[in-house]
Amino acid sequence: MGKKQKTGMSLIVLTITIIVMIILAGAIILTLNNSSVMDRAREAKFKNDIRSIQEELSLRLFDELADSENGNISNINGPAEQNLSSAEKYPGIFIIENGKLLISSEASDKQKEIAKDLGIGEKKEEARLINFTIDG
C-alpha cells in the first residue's frame, strides 16, 4: 500500500495565522482611531478655509477699490458670512471690520489659535454699559 499524502494546513499553522491577522487588525484600528490624525485633518481644513476667506476678501476689496471713485471701500463690514460665500460654513466666527478679517470671540480657543498663527486678529467684544436708576 502507498503512503497517503497530507493535504491542507495543520492546526498550528492556522492558529498562528489567525493570531497574526488579529494583531495586524488591532494595529490598523488603533492607527485609524487615533484622534490626533483627525485633529490635524480638521486643523488643515480650517486653515485652508481661512485662506480661502482671506483670498475672497482680498479680491472683493480690490474690486470695490477699482469700482470706487474716491477709494472708499467701507461698505464691506460686518459678519463675514454675509459678505463672503466662503465664510458661510462659519456663521458668527469671522467678522470684517474696515476691510480686515477678524475672528470673533464666539470662536473656539483652537480656532482662535489657528487664526492667530495665520495673522488674523481677534475682535474683542466691547464692554456694554448698563444704565439703571435706583428709585428710593
Task: Enumerate residues 6+ apart whose C-beta is below 8 A from 101.
Answer: 53, 54, 57, 80, 94, 95, 120
Predicted confidence at residue 19, as pLDDT, reads: 96
Predicted confidence at residue 127, as pLDDT, reads: 44
Grid cell in block for residue 51 = 485662506
Q: What is the mean pLDDT of each run of 10 residues along the chain (136 residues)?
A: 69 92 90 76 91 88 76 67 82 84 88 89 63 54
User: Which pTM value belongs to this model?
Assistant: 0.61
Write the pLDDT tens digit of every residue in 89-102: 888 888 888 778 88
